[in-house]
Chain A
Amino acid sequence: AQSVSQHNHHVILSEAASLELGCNYSYGGTVNLFWYVQYPGQHLQLLLKYFSGDPLVKGIKGFEAEFIKSKFSFNLRKPSVQWSDTAEYFCAALPWRSSGSARQLTFGSGTQLTVLP
Chain B
Amino acid sequence: GAVVSQHPSWVICKSGTSVKIECRSLDFQATTMFWYRQFPKQSLMLMATSNEGSKATYEQGVEKDKFLINHASLTLSTLTVTSAHPEDSSFYICSTERTGGTEAFFGQGTRLTVV
Shortest Cβ gap from A65 to chain B (Å):
15
Known A90-B43, A102-B49, A110-B43; contact A44-B106, beta-carbon cutoff 8 A: yes
Interface residues of B, dominant DSSP: loop
Give the distance in Å from the alpha carbon of A90 to the alpha carbon of B106 in the complex: 13
A43-B108, A44-B93, A102-B49 known; A108-B41 Cβ under 8 A: no
Which B residues from 36 to 63 make CB contacts under 8 A with A? 36, 41-46, 49, 51
Provide the bound-state CA to CA distance between A67 and B110, in Å.
33
Question: Is A104's CB under 8 angstroms from B46's CB?
Answer: yes
B92 within 8 A of A: no
A46 sits at the interface (CB 8 A): yes
Q: Which one of A9, A49, A102, A104 contacts B102 once the chains associate, using CB atoms below 8 Å?
A: A49
Contact: A43 with B106, CB < 8 Å? yes
Q: Are A107 and B99 in contact (CB under 8 A)?
A: no
> Range of interface residues on chain A?
20 to 34
Q: How far is the CA of A45 from the CA of B41 in the complex (A)?
A: 18
Spell out B's residues near A (CB within 8 Å): 2, 32, 34, 36, 41-46, 49, 51, 93, 95, 97, 99-100, 102-104, 106-109
**Residues in chain A within 8 A of chain B (CB atoms):** 4, 9, 32, 34, 36, 42-44, 46, 49, 51, 90, 94, 99-100, 102-110
A51 touches B32 (CB 8 A): no
Task: Please name the residue on chain A nearest to B32 by beta carbon.
Answer: A102
Contacts of B93 in A (CB 8 A): 44
Task: Please name all residues of chain B whose beta carbon is closer than 8 Å to the beta carbon of A90 when the two chains form the complex.
Answer: 43-44
Question: Which 4 A-B residue pairings sit nearest by Cβ, starting from the closest?
Answer: A99-B100, A44-B106, A109-B43, A102-B32
- Complex CA distance for A46 and B104, rounded to whole angstroms: 8
